């Protein structure tokens, strides 16, 4: 049973998740641009790659923007978490093997200790996020059940991943949980808050375009 599930999760399930993620994203973007063309011509007129790029850069690179400087802990946690969640799926060695098995070209692989440290740090960052959601009045105020669910899925993803990696007791189940969480998260990207992964290019980009191109002001 667990073998079939494992095979499914690393095979068709994974492909399906990627497909859903890809198609969903394309669909969302198509819809966005269709509506923009109809209702918000200013968006297309004023979007500037130069200023969008400038703004994205200043907000992505930690400690450039003022907002990142006045929240150093959050900036550090965010940087670590995003670094890990974007790199480990591709460059962690065990993932690399699986990816190569499914026909993808061989990618460079992180040394084990680096992956371990990254994953642990990301888990720490997630717990920090959880702490903020639970204990910071302002963040608690705007948090929704969906936010908590997402955070728990991510914690589950990293925790089970580490569990499996260190082959602690019950690790086959942990592996399954890891795969399941991973696939679900990938599939849910276009339909949840995770859509900020692609929307940020448009939202931050547009803010940057308006500030830089029209209003001649910095926005970081």
Partner 1 sequence: MNEADQRIEAIHDEGLESGLAQFDEDRVKKIIKKVIEEEASPRLDAYLSSCVHCGLCSDSCHYYLSRDKDPAYSPAGKVKESLLPLLRGKKITPETLKKAAIISYTHCNLCRRCTMYCPLGVDIAYLISLVRRICYLCGVVPLYIQDTANSHSATFNQMWIKNDEWLDCLYWQEEEAREELPELTIPIEREGADVMYSVIGPEPKFRAQLIYQAAVIMEKAGINWTFPGTRGWDNSDMCMYTGDYEMMGRLKKAHFETAMRLKVDRIVMGECGHAFRSVFDTGNRYLGWKTPPIPVVHAVEFYHEILTQERITIKKKLATPVTFHDPCNIVRGRGLHEMAREVVGICCDTFIEMEPNREHNYCCGAGGGVINCGPPFKNERVLGNRVKAEQLLAAKAKGAEIVVTPCHNCHGGLEDIIHHYGIDMEIKFLSDIIYETMEI
Partner 2 sequence: MPIAQGTSPIIWDTSSGSMSCMIPCPVDAPSERFPFWKATASRDGTRIAIPIQSSPEECQLCTWTLGEPEPTRSEPVLTIADLQPIADQDFSFLCQTDEGWTAVARNVPWEFQAEFAWNLRVSAGGNAACETQDDRRYTPMVNGNVWSESYENTYGLTLAATGPGSAAVVQTTPIAEGDLTTFLSGCFTLGTEKGPWSGRYMGAFTPVISSDGTVAAVDARITQQDYTIAVNDQCWPTTWPSVWAPVIHPQGTSVWAPVKESRGWTLACDGEVAWPGRYTQLWEPVFAPNGRRIAAVASPEFGQWTLALDGDLMKTRVDGYLRKPIFSPCGSRVGCTGMHKGKAVLLIDDHPMGDLFDKVWDPVFSQYGSHAAAKIKRGPWYTVFLDGMAIERRFIWMRNPAFTPDGMHLIICGIEKSGAHYHYTREFIALK
Interface positions with partner 2 (CB under 8 A): 41-42, 45
Give the one entry of partner 2, partner 1, none that residue 22 binds, where binding means its C-beta sits below a cut-off of 5 to 8 angstroms depending on kind: none
- Count of residues binding partner 1 (CB under 8 A)? 51
Q: Of the two residues 42 and 61, which places its CB atom closer to partner 2 in the complex? A: 42
Tokens 């991973």 appear where?
182
CB of 193 to partner 1, least distance (A): 5
Q: How far is the CB of 209 from partner 2 (least distance, A)?
A: 15
Residue with Cβ nearer partner 1 (8 or 199): 199
DSSP E strands: which ranges in 19-168? none
- Taking the least distance from each CB to partner 2, the nearer of 140 and 215 is 215
Radius of gyration of the chain (CA): 19
Whose Cβ is closer to partner 1: residue 62's or residue 89's?
Answer: 62
Q: How far, in Å, CA of 218 to CA of 54, rounded?
A: 9
Does residue number 216 form part of the binding site for partner 1 (CB under 8 A)?
A: yes
Q: Which of 4, 39, 103, 108 binds partner 1 (CB under 8 A)?
A: 39
Q: Does 69 bind partner 1 (CB under 8 A)?
A: no
Residue 113 burial (CB count, 10 A): 8
Go through 89-112 and write b for each residue having 16 or more CB atoms within 10 A of its CB, e for each that does not: bebbeebbeebeeeeeeeeebbee
Enumerate residues 6+ apart whose C-beta is below 8 A from 204: 52, 55, 56, 59
- Residue 31 as a binder of partner 1 (CB under 8 A): the answer is yes
> Among partner 2, partner 1, none, what does residue 148 contact (CB within 5–8 Å per kind)?
none
What is the CB neighbour count within 10 angstroms for residue 215?
Answer: 10
Site for partner 1 in 121-160 (CB under 8 A): 132, 136-144, 147
The least distance separating partner 1 from the CB of residue 33, rounded to whole angstroms, comes to 8
Contact 54, 215 (CB under 8 A): no
Q: How far apart are the first and last CA of the chain?
A: 52
Q: Which residues of 48-70 are buried (b: 16+ CB within 10 A; e: fewer)?
A: beebbebbbebbeebeebeebee
Give residues in contact with partner 1 (CB under 8 A): 31-32, 35-36, 39-40, 42-43, 45, 55, 59, 65-68, 70-71, 74, 78, 132, 136-144, 147, 192-193, 195-196, 199-200, 202-208, 211, 214-220
């Amino acid at each position: 049973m667990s073998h079939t599930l494992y095979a499914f999760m690393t095979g068709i399930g994974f492909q399906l998740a990627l497909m859903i993620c890809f198609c969903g994203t394309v669909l969302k973007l198509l819809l966005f641009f269709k509506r923009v063309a109809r209702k918000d011509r200013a968006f297309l007129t004023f979007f500037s790659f130069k200023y969008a790029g400038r703004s994205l850069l200043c907000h992505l690179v930690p400690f450039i923007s003022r907002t990142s400087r006045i929240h150093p802990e959050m900036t550090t946690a965010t940087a670590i978490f995003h670094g890990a969640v974007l790199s480990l799926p591709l460059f962690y060695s065990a993932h690399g093997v699986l990816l190569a098995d499914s026909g993808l070209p061989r990618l460079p692989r992180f040394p084990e200790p680096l992956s371990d440290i990254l994953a642990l740090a990301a888990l720490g960052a997630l717990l920090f996020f959880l702490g903020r959601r639970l204990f910071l009045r302002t963040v608690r105020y705007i948090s929704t059940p969906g936010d908590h669910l997402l955070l728990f899925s991510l914690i589950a993803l990293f925790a089970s991943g580490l569990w499996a990696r260190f082959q602690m007791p019950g690790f086959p189940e942990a592996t399954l949980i890891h795969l399941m969480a991973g696939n679900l998260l990938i599939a849910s990207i276009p339909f949840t808050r995770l859509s900020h992964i692609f929307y940020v290019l448009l939202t931050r980009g547009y803010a940057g375009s308006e500030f830089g191109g029209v209003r001649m002001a910095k926005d970081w």
